[in-house]
């Protein structure tokens, strides 16, 4: 019996050790980027064997990240792009989710099925024509060209529709008796009741927008319209001079921070939302 | 009723408009493009129709390199990330203390910008005149030779790409697997305990069959995701992936479309359709296998 207890404790220790090792692997790149970003250019390049700490932290890299390259501009562009795209997505998705969940009309099932079928279409297949469309409309290097193709998303319509359907019928009928219009019912009753799902959908879209790279790269070649992903690539290839890695890491920290903060605030919502059907990997 | 019909379509109008213009129309168009030979995007003219675009890209060494890279990446990262995430999730499910903290930490890579954090991996693995880099330091510690993982030999570059890809996809898999493990009915384990079943036997006879649908879902989405790899490679090796011999199929599509080697939407379309066919085939094979092994 004593032996069994001992092996149980040993197993527990092994499990914790393994989990700690993985946590270390996950966190180390974040630590390294923070650490490198506060090392001065001179001291970073003087370390042939990189040090795991620094005794003379500096913010000079952050200053040069904002002054030597237009990081603030990239940042602002991304904020505009993210806010407008997400708002437009909600404007498109909420009414159509409502129509599928609550209204009766001819061809509803067929239309919903075709929406579901669209979920299986990989973006890579439609990007080519969208690129040509936007180019022909002369909307390259505009926010309109960046935003329009990214605004509609079947998956979020689907998530919202599922949630709208769970709201009991009685509420709708009561509102109807009171003479409330459908639109008013949707905005004043349904959306507030389903707020958790609306928030989840919003956050997932914000993450998607903040990290998007391929479409912005195709559609912008004027740095004045770069988003952070393209900005960081530009910084890497032509920015501070190839060897100024501390300044590069400062830019990486600035770009990563908003989403990490968002995640720490909404972590339960984000993880629940992704578990319900996010995809990546 | 007629009134209601009109109203419903009005509510749906924005979605139908956007999806029609930016998804349905492009989907049809991409097939047309892929059969138009010698398409010129400036004058919007082409010589004829046929399968020349497909023949061209199937002979293009850059495309073949991209296919090879993508397949290696898929074959390595899907089993490794699925196995590793299962291992970690089982560990996570067996503890009480610190569980929430670990779960939160493990999810962090999901919310990071792939391009930005890729730069951190680049400097960790890169060998420059000033330093051999963190990873080489570790290798030296164990008596190995320094390798340049970013501009060096092919296998080294592929290794970094695989490591970064696994690091990026793990959060999603761990999250899904932990919630699947948590939903296995405790009664099964209690019954097994009464029978004196060993832990390993409990894992293979209860846990695995119970979570097999989830596991299988992760394998399918893993395959699809890995076949579409692109931005991780850009993050590590820069935008000129052909020169680095590290291009992927999706990267080839975009390079054909735009950039220094771009301006060929027909070749891009043909490559995108070949990718789509590969993914579809693999998914069908997966589904067939699952019929045999998954317990629903």
We report the CATH number of the domain holding residue A230 as: 1.10.3720.10
Residue A242: pLDDT band with limits 50, 70, 90: low
- A50–B9 CB contact, under 8 Å: no
Residues of A in contact with B116 (CB under 8 A): 228-229, 232, 251-252, 255-256
Which of A40, A61, A82 is at the close of a domain? A61
Domains of chain B: 47-108+165-293 (1.10.3720.10)
Rounded mean pLDDT of A53-58? 84
- B238–A278 CB contact, under 8 Å: no
pTM of the model: 0.91
For residues A83 and A214, state if they share a domain.
Answer: yes
For residues A149 and A13, state if they share a domain.
Answer: no
Q: Is it the case that residue A149 has pLDDT exceeding 80?
A: yes
Q: Is it the case that residue A278 has pLDDT exceeding 70?
A: no
Whether A195 is in a domain gets the answer yes
Task: Compare all CA atoms of chain B with the CA of A43 and give the residue at the minimum distance.
Answer: B130
For residues A103 and A233, state if they share a domain.
Answer: yes
Task: Compare all CA atoms of chain A with the CA of B165 and give the residue at the minimum distance.
Answer: A281
Whether A280 is in a domain gets the answer no
The whole-angstrom distance between B37's CA and the closest CA on chain A is 16
Whether A55 is in a domain gets the answer yes
For residues A184 and A77, state if they share a domain.
Answer: yes
Q: What is the pLDDT of residue A279?
A: 52
Whether A108 is in a domain gets the answer yes
B188-225 pLDDT, tens digit each: 888 888 888 888 888 888 899 899 989 998 998 899 99
For residues A75 and A21, state if they share a domain.
Answer: no
For residues A30 and A98, state if they share a domain.
Answer: no
For residues A150 and A23, state if they share a domain.
Answer: no
Share of residues in chain A with pLDDT > 90 (%): 48
Residue A82: pLDDT band with limits 50, 70, 90: very high
Q: What is the pLDDT of residue B106?
A: 95
Q: What is the pLDDT of residue B86?
A: 96
The count of CB pairs under 8 A between chains A and B is 262
A200-234 pLDDT, tens digit each: 899 989 999 999 999 999 999 888 999 999 888 88
Q: What is the pLDDT of residue A176?
A: 86
For residues A10 and A94, state if they share a domain.
Answer: no
For residues A96 and A202, state if they share a domain.
Answer: yes
Please give the residue range of the domain that contains residue A11.
2-61
For residues A78 and A28, state if they share a domain.
Answer: no
The whole-angstrom distance between A146's CA and the closest CA on chain B is 12
Q: Is it the case that residue B88 has pLDDT exceeding 70?
A: yes
For residues A22 and A85, state if they share a domain.
Answer: no
Which of A61, A91, A111 is at the close of a domain? A61
The total domain count for chain A is 2
Whether A246 is in a domain gets the answer no
- B111–A129 CB contact, under 8 Å: no
For residues A137 and A91, state if they share a domain.
Answer: yes
Which residues lie below 8 Å from residue B147, measured CB to CB, with a gap of 6+? B127, B136, B139, B153, B156
Q: Does B288 touch chain A (CB under 8 A)?
A: no
- B21–A47 CB contact, under 8 Å: no
């Amino acid at each position: 019996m004593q032996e069994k207890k001992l092996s149980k404790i040993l197993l527990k220790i092994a499990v914790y050790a393994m989990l700690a090792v993985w946590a270390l692997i996950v966190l180390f790149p974040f630590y390294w980027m923070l650490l490198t970003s506060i090392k001065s250019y001179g001291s970073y390049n003087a370390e042939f064997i990189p040090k795991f700490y620094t005794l003379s932290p500096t913010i000079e890299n952050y200053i040069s990240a904002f002054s030597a390259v237009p990081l603030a501009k990239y940042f602002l562009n991304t904020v505009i792009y993210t806010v407008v795209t997400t708002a437009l997505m909600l404007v498109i998705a909420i009414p159509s989710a409502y129509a599928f969940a609550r209204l009766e009309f001819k061809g509803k099932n067929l239309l919903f099925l075709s929406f579901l079928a669209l979920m299986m279409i990989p973006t890579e297949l439609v990007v080519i024509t969208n690129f040509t469309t936007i180019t022909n409309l002369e909307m390259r290097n505009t926010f309109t060209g960046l935003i329009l193709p990214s605004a509609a998303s079947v998956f979020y319509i689907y998530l919202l529709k599922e949630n709208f359907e769970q709201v009991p019928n009685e509420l709708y009928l009561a509102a109807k008796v009171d003479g409330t219009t459908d639109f008013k019912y949707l905005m004043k009753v349904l959306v507030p009741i389903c707020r958790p799902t609306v928030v989840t959908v919003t956050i997932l879209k914000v993450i998607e927008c903040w990290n998007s790279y391929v479409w912005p790269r195709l559609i912008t070649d004027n740095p004045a319209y770069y988003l952070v992903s393209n900005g960081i690539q530009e910084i890497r290839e032509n920015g501070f001079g190839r060897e100024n890695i501390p300044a590069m890491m400062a830019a990486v920290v600035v770009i990563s921070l908003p989403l990490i903060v968002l995640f720490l605030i909404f972590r339960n919502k984000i993880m629940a939302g992704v578990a319900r059907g996010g995809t990546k990997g | 009723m007629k009134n209601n019909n009109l109203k419903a379509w009005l509510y749906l109008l924005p979605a139908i408009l956007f999806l029609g213009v930016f998804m349905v129309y492009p989907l049809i168009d991409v097939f047309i493009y892929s059969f138009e030979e010698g398409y010129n995007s400036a004058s919007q003219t082409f010589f004829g129709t046929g399968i020349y675009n497909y023949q061209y890209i199937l002979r293009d060494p850059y495309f073949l390199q991209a296919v090879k890279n993508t397949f290696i990446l898929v074959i390595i990262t899907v089993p490794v990330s699925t196995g590793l995430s299962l291992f970690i999730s089982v560990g996570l499910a067996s503890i009480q203390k610190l569980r929430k903290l670990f779960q939160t930490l493990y999810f962090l890579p999901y919310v990071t910008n792939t391009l930005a954090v890729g730069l951190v991996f680049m400097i960790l693995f890169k060998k420059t005149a000033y330093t051999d880099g963190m990873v080489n330091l570790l290798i030296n510690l164990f008596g190995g030779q320094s390798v340049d993982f970013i501009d060096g030999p092919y296998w080294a570059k592929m290794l970094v790409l695989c490591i970064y890809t696994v690091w990026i996809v793990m959060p999603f898999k761990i999250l899904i697997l932990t919630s699947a493990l948590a939903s296995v009915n405790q009664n099964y384990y209690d019954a097994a305990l009464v029978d004196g079943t060993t832990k390993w036997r409990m894992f293979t006879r209860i846990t695995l069959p119970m979570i097999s649908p989830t596991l299988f879902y992760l394998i399918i989405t893993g395959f699809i995701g890995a076949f579409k790899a692109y931005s991780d490679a850009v993050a590590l090796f820069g935008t000129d992936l052909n020169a680095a011999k590290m291009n992927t199929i999706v990267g080839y599509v975009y390079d054909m479309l735009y950039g220094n080697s771009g301006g060929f939407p027909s070749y891009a379309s043909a490559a995108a359709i070949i990718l789509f066919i590969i993914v579809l085939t693999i998914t069908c094979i997966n589904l067939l296998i699952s019929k045999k092994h998954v317990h629903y």
